[in-house]
Structure 1
Amino acid sequence: MRRAVAASALLFAIFPLLAGCWDKNELTNWGYVQAAAIDRAPDGRIRLTTQIYKPGSPEAQTAGAAKSGSFLNLTNVSDTVSEAAAQISGRLGRNLQWSHMRALLLSEDFARNRSIGDVLDFFSRSQGPRGSTSVFIATGEAGSFLEIKPLIESTIGQQLKTVEQTTGSQLGTANRLTLLDLSIMAETPSPTADLIPRIELSNGKPILALINGLSVLRFPEGTISDPIPLSLAPYVLMLRGQFKGGIIQMPCRGQSGKPNGKSDAFLVTSARSRTSVSSRKGEPAIRILLKMKGKASEFNCSRTTSEQENRAFLNRLRQEVKTGLEESMALIRARKADVIHAGEYAQRRHPRLWKSWSEDWAEAFSRSGFEADIRIMMTDTGMDAGEPFVVPPSPDKK
């Protein structure tokens, strides 16, 4: 009997500790931020735009494409992100919850004229934002991107995240840069550079947010410079070891040797690269070993029905990749932007050489030599044989 009474008393003492909402933080107290945009106001201050999800809206409860009714945008201008966020919270009547934020957009004007450290300090100190939040550079006003309707996802923040992932894996023209990556870069003792996906709004209808290049971000300045054009983005990512896959097009040429408006296409399914740095006559010499696997995606002027034709096709593909790599290296060397992190390799592997280059690595990088070793394996030519669907007439036949 005594044991039963003691057990009952113990249970009654434990019950209050098992309550789930002991701190009274109900879901209705929070406004869940799905995306945020930073612009530079006319007076130079920070303009913060937040997109907040409305879970109780009819649009949020349907399985179809989301409408603007499933979220709302609130904006405030202040000297700091903290004050702007607090003002938005006061207008909303709920505390802002940043843990669900999918994307952070920085306008190109802001990132060129102010250090992004001015806004990253808030997100790195707050417990809410995830380190995996994707960061973008927006052409024009960043806040205007939050006004467009997502195609499939619930919010444009999630839409941008999936666009970034798909563009990187299917086209090979986008990398991923997160808040955590930026925090690590900001703590790097030596000057460094990295790439941020650059987005723009389409002209047609529906209005879409498209990735149209890569912006170069420099630390410790914390500002961006001229972007990498979309045509060279895949090759820059190959140099960085971030190329996941995509289509490489090879222009077809007529008898005159000029492009005839057609192209062959090769689908890269996997790619790996390795960078090494040595010294040649006192200057850095950068060597890239690039290994790719893939398959023929489309033939319009080539055949691979024999070993000789297969070898000729791969040589042509190798030359196309080599040209792209050389043009990309020439561009980043001219801009003195070591976005391939060759300096970090030299610092780790060759500390003595790095000591002689470190005083002005940007200048040394601009004078560096470059060599690429490209190895490509074609696994198959698809369902059809290795020739075009419509076989072009042989030049020997009239």
Structure 2
Amino acid sequence: MTLKSFFCLVCSAVLLSGCWDIKEIEDVGIVTGLALDVSEEEQLLMINQYVKPGQIPTQQDSSQQDSPYQNLESTGTTLFEMIRENSLESNRPPNYTHLKSILFSTKLLEKEPLNQLIDLYIRDHEFRRTVPVFITMDPVQKIFNAQPEKELFPSIQIKELSENYHKNNTNPKNLTIGDMSQYISEKKSFIIPGMAMINGNIKSYGAGVISGETSQYIGWIPLEKMEGIRYLHNNVEGGYIYLSEKDITDGPVVLEIKGANSKFDVSLSDGNLSMRVDVEVTTSLGEDWGVDRNVFKTGWEKEIKKAADKDIEDKVDVILQIAQKELKTDFAHLSQWVRIHQPDYWKEHKEEWDEIFTQMDIDVQADVSIKDFGTQNFNME
């Protein structure tokens, strides 16, 4: 054998040896969900939701004999300590590279600040900054022990529900570990999408508010009041406006939202800030219960438009009332518009923003346009 042939043989042995460090999936502790709460002993409680590969049904055998996941609970004083203690219960060390969701309890975030709780997630290379974060007023065990109907794992069900924000304006947009870390570093208040167990099912349910000053939970925005925050965050992509017979004559209607855009203008007069919020919403007539309504008559939509304008203005005003008067913190992030429109004022007063925010006059004006009749698409312009 020549030297050249020997060299080629050695190279082939090295390059074609396969994955020398491969691990079988049964030997890897794949964690799809992580939940944090307070234990009965007032310690940290952590739940890792592990995949049980042997219990995942296949296309050939869709029968499910046992739960496809296993929840392992640990208690302690630090997250790192609890993660390592998993080795006392399982020979599969937790692997977080496939983590789908992180769930916090309000009870924990009333006690411990988030900037301390997420320190490990920011440092450890296994935790991706794109993992979405959620909050619940229920004990986290209640949600993580659920048996979802459409997903195999509660932790994945939570994530999937949060992706419906473009269909329903009561769902807040996703918040990731990276987003949360940025808000905390900037000392901004923010909201975390909420989850709850209702009639045995996991459901999106409002949002929890985190203080920029303390990084702790300070209040809850109920589901029925969530729409206003979406307009203030300017991330409305769909949803609907329901107007009842109390709002308009000739019966209820549903307007399907096709698009929306909020514009913010900040004025400064005699040292006092004021803000105007213009919300422009484009809709189509999605459902009409008004059997006597003549949609071919000029001006038929005026009453509906007026009621829709007021509906949106009222919903935004509700959120502003919660932010300015109840919680006294700017979780709607209106400070960014002050920084853009009045940069000199912002530089001078940014340290006292929350106090200024509670006194600022904010005028909300909505402008709803009805462009067509849905799939019939009779152009009204």
Partner in structure 2 of residue 112 of structure 1: 110
Partner in structure 1 of residue 334 of structure 2: 342
Question: Which deviates more from structure 2 when the two are superposed, residues 20-29 or residues 168-177?
Answer: 20-29
2:268 corresponds to 1:279: yes
Letter in 2 for 1:69: S
Residues 306-326 of structure 1 show CA distances to partners (whole Å, capped at 9, x for unaligned) of: 231123322221121112222
Letter in 2 for 1:138: T
Match for residue 88 of structure 1 among 86, 105, 116 = 86
Following the alignment from structure 2 to structure 1, what is the Cα–Cα distance between the partners of residues 295 and 358? Answer: 40
Following the alignment from structure 1 to structure 2, what is the Cα–Cα distance between the partners of residues 264 and 281? Answer: 45
Task: Check the 8 A contact 1:288/1:372 in 2, yes or no.
Answer: yes
Partner in structure 2 of residue 299 of structure 1: 288
Give 1:300 deviation, angstroms.
2.2
Give 1:376 deviation, angstroms.
2.6
Partner in structure 2 of residue 327 of structure 1: 318
Letter in 2 for 1:72: Q
Partner in structure 1 of residue 170 of structure 2: 173
Match for residue 229 of structure 2 among 217, 229, 236 = 236
Residues 52-104 of structure 1 show CA distances to partners (whole Å, capped at 9, x for unaligned) of: 01122253666859785211110010111111111113311012111111111
Match for residue 32 of structure 1 among 24, 30, 33 = 30
Partner in structure 1 of residue 39 of structure 2: 41
Following the alignment from structure 1 to structure 2, what is the Cα–Cα distance between the partners of residues 67 and 242? Answer: 43
Residues 66, 180 of structure 1: alpha-carbon distance in 2 compared, 3 angstrom cutoff: farther
Question: Which deviates more from structure 2 when the two are superposed, residues 48-57 or residues 315-324?
Answer: 315-324
Instruction: Classify the secondary structure of the residue corresponding to 2:335.
Output: helix
Question: Which deviates more from structure 2 when the two are superposed, residues 64-73 or residues 33-42?
Answer: 64-73
Match for residue 216 of structure 2 among 208, 212, 223 = 223
Following the alignment from structure 2 to structure 1, what is the Cα–Cα distance between the partners of residues 124 and 156? Answer: 21
Following the alignment from structure 1 to structure 2, what is the Cα–Cα distance between the partners of residues 19 and 284? Answer: 69
Following the alignment from structure 2 to structure 1, what is the Cα–Cα distance between the partners of residues 284 and 305? Answer: 11
Partner in structure 1 of residue 302 of structure 2: 311
2:122 corresponds to 1:131: no
Following the alignment from structure 1 to structure 2, what is the Cα–Cα distance between the partners of residues 63 and 197? Answer: 36
Instruction: List gaps (5 residues or longer) in structure 1.
Output: 387-398
Letter in 2 for 1:350: Q
Residues 354, 65 of structure 1: alpha-carbon distance in 2 compared, 3 angstrom cutoff: farther
Partner in structure 1 of residue 140 of structure 2: 142
Task: Check the 8 A contact 1:151/1:159 in 2, yes or no.
Answer: no
Partner in structure 2 of residue 392 of structure 1: none
2:193 corresponds to 1:197: yes
Following the alignment from structure 1 to structure 2, what is the Cα–Cα distance between the partners of residues 172 and 63? Answer: 39
Letter in 1 for 2:330: D
Residues 66, 304 of structure 1: alpha-carbon distance in 2 compared, 3 angstrom cutoff: farther
Task: Check the 8 A contact 1:176/1:197 in 2, yes or no.
Answer: yes
**TM-score normalized by the length of structure 1:** 0.86
Following the alignment from structure 2 to structure 1, what is the Cα–Cα distance between the partners of residues 281 and 92? Answer: 51
Please report the RMSD computed on the Cα atoms of aligned residues, expressed in angstroms.
2.6
Letter in 2 for 1:289: D
**TM-score normalized by the length of structure 2:** 0.89
Give 1:274 deviation, angstroms.
2.8
Task: Check the 8 A contact 2:257/2:282 in 1, yes or no.
Answer: yes
Task: Check the 8 A contact 1:239/1:340 in 2, yes or no.
Answer: yes
Question: Which deviates more from structure 2 when the two are superposed, residues 36-45 or residues 106-115?
Answer: 36-45
Q: Kindly, what percent of the aligned residue pairs are identical?
A: 20
Task: Check the 8 A contact 1:66/1:150 in 2, yes or no.
Answer: no
Residues 177-203 of structure 1 show CA distances to partners (whole Å, capped at 9, x for unaligned) of: 111111111221xx3111111111113
Following the alignment from structure 2 to structure 1, what is the Cα–Cα distance between the partners of residues 369 and 13? Answer: 65
Instruction: Classify the secondary structure of the residue corresponding to 1:308.
Output: coil
Following the alignment from structure 1 to structure 2, what is the Cα–Cα distance between the partners of residues 352 and 63? Answer: 67
Letter in 1 for 2:281: M
Task: Check the 8 A contact 2:242/2:252 in 1, yes or no.
Answer: yes
Task: Check the 8 A contact 1:54/1:60 in 2, yes or no.
Answer: no
Query: Following TM superposition, where does structure 1 have runs of at least 4 consecutive aligned residues deviating by more than 4 angstroms?
Result: 60-68, 383-386
Question: Which deviates more from structure 2 when the two are superposed, residues 10-19 or residues 231-240?
Answer: 10-19
2:365 corresponds to 1:367: no
Instruction: List gaps (5 residues or longer) in structure 2.
Output: none
Give 1:7 deviation, angstroms.
4.7
Aligned length: 374
Instruction: Classify the secondary structure of the residue corresponding to 2:252.
Output: strand
Instruction: Classify the secondary structure of the residue corresponding to 1:32.
Output: strand
Following the alignment from structure 1 to structure 2, what is the Cα–Cα distance between the partners of residues 331 and 66? Answer: 46
Residues 66, 353 of structure 1: alpha-carbon distance in 2 compared, 3 angstrom cutoff: farther
Following the alignment from structure 1 to structure 2, what is the Cα–Cα distance between the partners of residues 90 and 62? Answer: 35
Q: How is 1:241-256 mapped onto 2 (pairs within 5 angstroms)?
A: 241-253=234-246
Following the alignment from structure 2 to structure 1, what is the Cα–Cα distance between the partners of residues 343 and 62? Answer: 57
Residues 83-126 of structure 1 show CA distances to partners (whole Å, capped at 9, x for unaligned) of: 11111133110121111111111011111121122321111111
Residues 67, 129 of structure 1: alpha-carbon distance in 2 compared, 3 angstrom cutoff: farther
